[in-house]
Structure 1
């Protein structure tokens, strides 16, 4: 008691002295660009006394000499400054590592150190550089276990994204893509192949990739294949900032399929088929036409983007942007123009208790889609014929072989491009509004409502000129053209609506339980697509309109979800979630699916037994399990697969009633017992960060089992269709993946970084109920039913089914001779082998070097294993391919397999049985230098209010592979007439002011 009284009088005595020692400290806080920072926090260390800066970044605070002031601002490094004078100005630097810590997950966010699932964050410094026109190109090869394959060099080429391989046979295997809280539909607007064409890469802040079920299960039915969350850039509380970026890209043809050039072709025909030599050239003139070079061109892309960020009325962070991309594809007549606008507003109300975040994106695309049939025609067309008719001709000046019936032989490849016009336009709006209310009087509880809409209007208009379709007739000896006759038209409207409403309770505690974070809510998604197609047919050389076809499709998903995150003893992180989903694709009795998940993480670096280990910054062990569902089977069976529906039949199913032809209604196949496909995933992983952030990374291993597979399988006799979707069988996936980042040098003037990732995955079909195997497509340009794809129990889920070829002593193929695998003396289907075409291994690695203002980035990626079937070798790799028919009046080009004496392919067209040979398979392993970028940053003025960056880059510089075709990177494993990927060079600048 005496001690307390003494302390009381001591404090009472000293208080006036303390008060007298304090002084008024003033100053200005700016960012690393020299701009004032309004809203920056200045706190007297060790106390709760603090102030914030005004609109001009100025502050006033009471402090004593020797006190420490703590300056902080979101996204910038916190600084501590000792008071030594009455004026203290502070310049705050960006804290990239701090920004990297924030990971967006379903219905919330976490940090890297507190994440319990297999989640990867990719921010600006991680993403690919250079010729980037679509968002998918930013992450290609950058995330372990994420395989991104586009369908060639088309500016709007379709993409195939797989996270840890596919988990289904016929249901959708693409990941769920969420943009600012709005999940995208798996159906693209009409005429748009790549859903990520419709977002400006310049607007993207980060990607969060959710890989295992413990992290994706909160998204339920749409998350069986992983989730990619795209977060766009937001406004700032600081001073206004502007950015202008521009680049020009030039693309060249990186490779050609090896067919005969003109001189080689003449030699081949004269030596092999001299009786057809009179078909060489035109009227005695041998032309030198490289049809592949004629249909391709030097492509170009011009990208311009303008962005403004600021603090409206000193209270509302705002970001607005406008972008335009003009892309001329490497295939002639290929064009894509994209206009984007975006707006982000995040006001706060009621003393920061209510935060409203509004994101709005408008996208308009105008696309000219050429006739890609010109690619195949360029591989077949006679290289000794001219491009243009010396006499002018009746085909708009293009040369075309004809007879009394019209066009014969392959159509003029360039005419196919020039004399067809197909316009595919789309206007799209993606918007969301999130209301986050921290309840007054109970601030640990937050109510959240997120609404969103994805609305698009699309149109396709296609027109042909005569040489493309032979649409001409003769009247009084003169050709009459149905010039630019309409051949197809479609109008479409898509409306996707979203509503999420949930409560979030988060509170820190003292004791064993450190933190509790709980969410529970309801989700609603509705996807509507409606439109009309106007098909045409050719009658007497003219296009005739057919009856318009109208369609209306709707899919509805409703959900209830809950999740709890618990932190125990500062070391253990526990996550548990459950989601109940209902889908309109299933009958009422099977409509609901229930999907739980749980994960545990142990932060070993927080334990006492590692407290003396100074080189460990982070070491975390993760264990997770989750169950997710799959219902998206609209591709093979439509939107109402569980109920009996009837369609208006076409003229082939009609009957005569008097003198009138009456069409009938046709019953659609259906399966009332369809239910959820279910995928359970077990995941174990470890995250580490050593030696003061010099070495960091993660390693994960997983086992994934999918049951009640939604597979399109053969039906019993008498069924309405011979194949329909049913719940049959199981698959099992096993894999592991690793990512590593090494920073051996990181100083103010010099930085050296290396990064690498690799992933192994294989999926086997373990059960198909009573079915042993069934065809899974794989057309190779032969007759109906000649498919090489197969699904079978005990095999990989995507395989070829082929014979093992027999060769003679010199290594030459013996046609239709195959290995008798079961030694029964008969070559039959029992002797065919299952050969997977997907690689087991994918990888990527790169480096970043910065010396003062100069920086260099390089990224490579590739795959090990997998196979590709060369259908070009099958259909064009035989000598007689040059002579389609003895009386045809024309000759064709073939693959260049002539050595001057003999053709080293087959003499005649291989049989359909020979087409099932593994002779046509090649190893699809490759290493691609994806991009290399050299940049220079400088600030021309001392006040740093303006900064410039110039850069140059090259993409797709080379591919190392043993494959003899065009490109080994092929998602479907079959090369026919591919659209070549260009080699692209870029020059660009970024201006910040």
Structure 2
């Protein structure tokens, strides 16, 4: 027996260093990717794929707006500036100008906010996967895949209060103080947020292919998968470091410090299969199914079954059309199928999280007798009957190609019906709590579509 061994190794490295079009903005990234594939013997193949990246992004900071679009704010501030003054005073002191005349309007000085403080984002991303392919028997193959995706992100928002002065001096030659940006002059603050998420995926399939009597072509696939995901966040806030260029929390005063954090996770299990049959590539049949279980739904509604089927008939291969030379291809087809959607979240404290069917009590401080006391409160409604959103699609069509493919196209009648739509329910503000996801929503669509084209044949 001859044992054939093949091996392939690929290593790719990348580097990007790009300054932003705005001052104090830029992005730097390092990339590495490693691919390995080897044939252990004539029946077993093993491979891995590992990708890693590290990114550093610098932006301006916004006071009391951790996730705000600072780039947009910087551009709008520049557009709103009057042409009567420059960003800094003409005396060479390096102080920042707010306006030339007291009656002028305007926004913050974008140069002042760009040169003081900033938002610094570091991101580490890793995706590693491995697979094992095995030829079990003639026509029967097995495949196992596993993957882990890890993302670690640290964001620091450093805010420094900056004073703004009148661009034109007064009668005594003094540049008068006019306003302040990004908080109180002489104060600074730092918010640090650490986020990480990890997702594990395991995927396995059995695939069987067989041809009988050279005319009956059959294939079948059976597989299962498991996905798990977890997200963690930890955030801290402090004020008043002894210097405006310090960006580590330990350098700041403990007075008024805050800490916060949360975590969530979800999982998805799936069993799926497919059967294909065709006779001389003339009559085509296919059947599929998925049986999915999601942790996002309550007990009794976690699992959903989603089948599909299709059939095709190549009419142009029938004997009664073979003598019709102006018909190149004519195919009739029909399909019906269902797909499920489990992507449903709720908003808690301004953050999007899963499990809208669970009661959640959020911590809150109450003023009782002049002192703050820890308590809990409900902030949103729930729906314990929430389940899979299901979309059912029916398609009946005809494909054609005529006159040596000079005229070609397709005609379709299409129906799409979505039930149990996962969307929030509108509730009036006087209810006092946020909206929940409601179940009875439904959307139904029907349409007729035809496409045709003409191709000019070369003489």
TM more than 0.5: yes
Deviations 1:441-478 (A, max 9, x none): x32222221111111111111223333834444xxxxx
Partner of 1:455: 150
Match of 1:677 in 2: 389
- The aligned counterpart of 2:354 is 639
Is 1:398 matched with 2:96?
yes
Determine whether 1:516 maps to 2:218.
yes
Contact 1:505 1:519 in 2 (8 A): yes
Residue 686 to residue 469, structure 1, CA distance change in 2 (3 Å): farther
Which sections of structure 1, spanning at least 5 residues, go unmatched? Answer: 1-51, 53-312, 474-480, 746-993
- Structure-2 change in CA distance of 1:727 and 1:443 (3 Å): same
Aligned to 2:142, what secondary structure does the other structure show?
strand
Unmatched segments (≥5 aa) in structure 2: 61-69, 163-179, 245-251
CA distance in 2, matches of 1:333, 1:666: 42
CA drift at 1:684: 3.9
SS at match of 2:392: strand
**How much does 1:741 deviate?**
10
Find the aligned partners of 1:402 and 1:537 in 2 and give their Cα distance: 32
Describe the shift of the 1:388–1:710 C-alpha distance in structure 2 as closer, same or farther (beyond 3 A): same
SS at the partner of 2:436?
Answer: strand
Please give the secondary structure, in 2, of the residue aligned with 1:459.
strand
User: Is residue 379 from structure 1 mapped to residue 94 from structure 2 by the alignment?
Assistant: no
Which residue is equivalent to 1:443? 138
Residue of structure 1 in register with 2:25 after alignment: 334
- 1:688, CA displacement in angstroms? 6.2
Matches within 5 A, 1:55-66: none
- Name 2:195's counterpart in structure 1: 492
**Which of 296, 300, 319 is residue 608 of structure 1 equivalent to?**
319
Equivalence map 1:305-344=2 (5 Å):
315-344=6-35
CA apart distance, 1:700 = 5.6
Alignment of 1:471-510 (within 5 A): 471-473=183-185, 481-482=186-187, 485-510=188-213
**1:533 aligned residue:** 235
TM-fit CA distance, 1:425:
1.9
Contact 1:389/1:400 (<8 A) preserved: no
Q: Does structure 1 retain, via aligned residues, the 8 Å contact 2:113–2:182? A: no
Residues 889-968 of structure 1: pairs in structure 2 closer than 5 A: none
Equivalents in 2 of 1:533, 1:497: separation in Å?
25
Secondary structure of 2:258's aligned partner: coil
What is the Cα deviation at residue 610 of structure 1? 4.5
CA contact (8 A) 1:534 1:545 kept: no
Tell me what 1:581 maps to. Answer: 292
Deviation at 1:419, TM superposition (A): 3.1
SS at match of 1:391: coil
SS of 1:337's partner is strand
Aligned 8 A contact 1:709 1:729 in 2: yes
Indicate if the aligned counterparts of 1:600 and 1:624 stay in contact, CA closer than 8 A. yes
Cα offset for 1:618?
Answer: 5.4
Say which SS state the counterpart of residue 359 (structure 2) adopts.
Answer: coil
1:699 and 1:410, CA in 2 relative to 1: closer, same or farther beyond 3 A? farther
Report SS of the residue matched to 2:387: coil
Q: Distance in 2 between matches of 1:604 and 1:390?
A: 84
Structure 1 residues 585 and 416: CA distance shift in structure 2, 3 A: same
Distance in 2, matches of 1:716 and 1:689, equals: 57
What is the match of residue 129 of structure 2? Answer: 432
Indicate the residue corresponding to 2:168 in structure 1.
none
1:685–1:432 Cα change, 3 Å: farther
Structure-1 separation of matches of 2:6 and 2:202: 27
Describe the SS at the equivalent of 1:375.
helix
| Aligned residue in 1 for 2:376 | 665
1:724 counterpart = 2:421 = no
Determine the C-alpha separation between the residues in 2 that align with 1:486 and 1:698: 63
**CA apart distance, 1:335:** 2.1
- Larger relative contact order (C-alpha < 8 A, sep ≥ 6)? 1
Higher strand share: 2
Give me the CA root mean square deviation: 3.7
Q: CA 1:423/1:317 → structure 2, altered by over 3 Å: closer, same or farther?
A: same
Partner of 1:562: 273
**Distance of aligned partners of 1:373 and 1:448 in 2 relative to their CA distance in 1, 3 Å threshold:** same
Distance 1:739 1:331 in 2: 48
Q: What are the within-5 Å matches in structure 2 for residues 772-921 of structure 1?
A: none
- Counterpart CA distance in 2 for 1:696 and 1:336 is 49
Q: 1:703 corresponds to which residue? A: 415
1:603 Cα deviation after fit: 3.1
* Corresponding pairs, count: 413
Distance 1:486 1:614 in 2: 80
Residue 430 of structure 1: how far off its partner (Å): 1.4
CA spacing shift, 1:450–1:737, aligned 2, 3 Å? farther
TM-score, length-normalised on structure 1? 0.38
Instruction: Work out whether residues 344 and 358 of structure 1, in 8 Å CA contact, stay in contact via their aligned partners in 2.
Output: yes
Q: 1:330 to 1:509 in 2, by over 3 A?
A: farther
Task: Classify the secondary structure of the residue corresponding to 1:714.
Answer: coil
TM-score by length of 2: 0.78
1:266-345 equivalence runs, <5 A = 315-345=6-36
Residue 424 of structure 1 deviates from its aligned partner by: 1.7
Q: Give the drift of 1:525.
A: 0.6
- Rounded Cα–Cα distance in structure 2 between residues aligned with 1:359 and 1:342: 7
Displacement, 1:634? 2.0
Q: How far off is 1:734 after superposition?
A: 4.8
Alpha carbons 2:9, 2:37 under 8 Å: kept: yes
Distance 1:349 1:491, change over 3 A: same
Q: How does 1:127-166 map to 2 (within 5 A)?
A: none
Aligned pairs for 1:960-979 within 5 A:
none
Corresponding position of 1:765: none
1:592 aligns with 2:303: yes
Question: Does the CA contact (< 8 Å) of 2:340 and 2:388 recur in 1?
Answer: yes
Deviation, 1:687, is 5.5
Q: Report how far residue 576 of structure 1 moved.
A: 1.0
Q: Is the 8 A contact 1:434 1:450 kept in 2?
A: yes
The answer to whether 1:366 aligns with 2:88 is: no
Cα distance 1:617–1:436, how it changes in 2: closer, same or farther (>3 A)?
A: farther
**Distance of aligned partners of 1:695 and 1:527 in 2 relative to their CA distance in 1, 3 Å threshold:** farther
Q: Which residue of 2 aligns with 1:197?
A: none
